[in-house]
A and B are shown apart, each in its own frame.
Chain A
């Protein structure tokens, strides 16, 4: 694999890692907000009201931990790919369009 090709794959790894990192955080928001719809209904039903908030906290906690672990691994892999392939060629992580 020549240097040009290696740089190209490093670029792909950078995009994939950033995509996974941002994708996990977006998916976390989608997951939690959809789950909130259900928990909001459970909160209104007298039978389920006493324990719905507790389950919501546990569910959200486990979900956040899972998605943020994926984000962390993706960030680390992206950093590793950038450092291993071309330490000078990438700038520090910057935010996508807000």
Chain B
């Protein structure tokens, strides 16, 4: 059960600060750095002793993005419902879970921890796990790829049960905003004027997680570029700011933070996707809690 009684605004502030400075907060052991935790509804789930009432044979884990909390999944006007809980309502023995983590840490370190956490969760789950569904929004999608790589590399058992991975607005080829921040910081730091170099240094204070987003890095440098996890189905959901697909604003900004091509992983080699859906008129954040996306997930995953 949850022991976190802090108000929602404090949790949200911790999530935002963790996104900006998460690696630094963690290095200082600052209590604002969010730990990695699994939730079932509002209750935390201990991966060593998971207690969720009626455990299903399918685990559906929803993973938020940078500076977000699990509350990003909450569908508007539907008390606590999210994509996972809607799938569970369809009676497929699905247990909906959500993840909370420090999104400012390097993605590969969160990926390693998630792989370990999933292994413990599957090993200790009260009934045999037959299928795992991972749904990631934005950075959450990169985290899925990272965890799959480390789970596969270590021969962890949960990878065999992995059935579906859904990447919602994930910047597989990087986010234009993160790329812009990096380019601006690099440019400013090369100028001869000290006041401009300071601006570059301030932009450079961004966390390792944000840095990873500029190129969609999911593993450490020595691990190269991992393929999509074999044996699982992979789906991509993209958003676009304007309702008309051809609108120039879509070409410039995509869903506001991620271009459609990046969400599809167009620059990645050897990807075989089981489904791609683009939703014009739905921006980056609303992709995580939109009825149209929920309908698409139901079609793919049930």
Contacts and interface: CB of A to CB of B under 8 A. Distances in A.
A30 B17 contact: no
A90 B29 contact: yes
Given A15-B21, A97-B205, A8 B6 contact: yes
Q: How large is the interface on B (under 10, 10 to 19, 20 to 34, 35 or more residues)?
A: 20 to 34
Contact of B194 (A4, A7, A12, A29): A29
Interface in B208-222: none
Contacts of A30: 194-195, 198
Given A26-B202, A30-B194, A33-B195, A94 B28 contact: yes
Contacts of B30: 11, 14-15, 90
A10 interface: yes
B301 to A, nearest CB: 37
Contacts of A15: 17, 21, 25, 30, 32
A16 B6 CA distance: 20
Contacts, number: 58
Interface string A57-98: 000000000000000000000000000001001110010110
B5 A2 contact: yes
A8 B32 contact: yes
Nearest to B211: A97
A34 interface: yes
Given A4-B4, A33-B193, A96-B24, A26 B201 contact: yes
Nearest to A95: B24
Interface residues of A, number: 23
B37 interface: no
Nearest to A12: B32
A54 B31 CA distance: 48
B292 to A, nearest CB: 37
A34 to B, nearest CB: 5
Nearest to B194: A33
Contact of A29 (B4, B21, B31, B198): B198
Interface of B: 4-6, 10, 14, 17, 21, 24-25, 27-32, 193-195, 197-198, 201-202, 204-205
What are the nearest 7 A-B pairs in CB distance? A33-B194, A11-B32, A7-B31, A11-B31, A30-B195, A33-B195, A11-B30
Interface of A: 2, 4-5, 7-8, 10-12, 14-15, 26, 29-30, 32-34, 86, 89-91, 94, 96-97
